[in-house]
Amino acid sequence: MIKRITLPITKDSVADLNAGDSVLLTGTILTGRDAAHKRLFALLEQGEPLPVDIRGELIYYVGPAPAKTGYAVGPAGPTSSYRMDMYTPALLDRGLKGMIGKGARSREVIDAMVRNKCVYFAAIGGAAALIAKSIKREEILCYADLGTEAVRRYTVEDFPCIVAIDSRGNNVYETEPLRYRDESILPCDVPKP
């Protein structure tokens, strides 16, 4: 069953999500990658206000390609999330409700997610053109000098993703590999290790 969520995400919506759930997001999300995160983190360390309100927001780790005619953005596939791990706990502690990216997260990020009741969605790598179809509008909010790494606001409709890590710390990057190591679920024609 696919869960549909209208953004901004609520704490009740986050609490109802379980690792492995398929989700379609509709509403607005922020974007940002390494360079933008580094700047945001530096401001937090200096006790300065952020140029964008992250409270209650989701941030998508993406650097979109140029838009083709008829699209708000070009192919917009997820960036490897581990690159933001050193900055993420501080942003979660300041009110960010979740992230969208690809790949596993550090123990520090997962602990911050549980502490702040947040969620991490995985978008499908290699599906950048498909994902772009769900992005209806883009607006640069800050750090335009970073080009594709600027912080943007996307308006999305039925943005496809999977709950990779839920607010309780359940993590498909840990549970699913174990599931497929269990010999009892292997098809009979697969040689056992």
Predicted TM-score (pTM) above 0.75: yes
Domain tally, the chain? 1
The tens-digit pLDDT sequence of the chain (193 residues) is: 899 999 999 999 999 999 999 999 999 999 999 999 999 999 999 999 999 999 999 999 998 888 888 889 988 999 999 999 999 999 999 999 999 999 999 999 999 999 999 999 999 877 888 899 999 999 999 999 999 999 999 999 999 999 999 999 999 999 887 776 655 555 555 444 4
Q: Is residue 99 part of a domain?
A: yes
Could you tell me if residue 83 is inside a domain? Answer: yes
In a domain, 191, yes or no: no
DSSP result, 15-48: HH--TT-EEEEEEEEEE--HHHHHHHHHHHHTTP
CATH code of the domain in which 89 resides: 3.20.130.10
Structural domain range at position 25: 2-185
Question: Domain for residue 190, yes or no?
Answer: no
> Is 121:23 a contact under the CB 8 Å cutoff?
yes
Distance of CA 56 to the CA centre of its chain: 13
* Domain-embedded: residue 93: yes
Contacts of 111 (CB under 8 A, 6+ apart): 89, 169
Residue 30's Cβ-count burial label (10 Å; 0-12, 13-18, 19+) is: buried
Residue 193 within a domain = no
How would you classify the pairing of strands 2-6 and 119-122? unpaired
Residue identified by tokens 């509403």 is 27
Judge whether 162 lies within some domain: yes
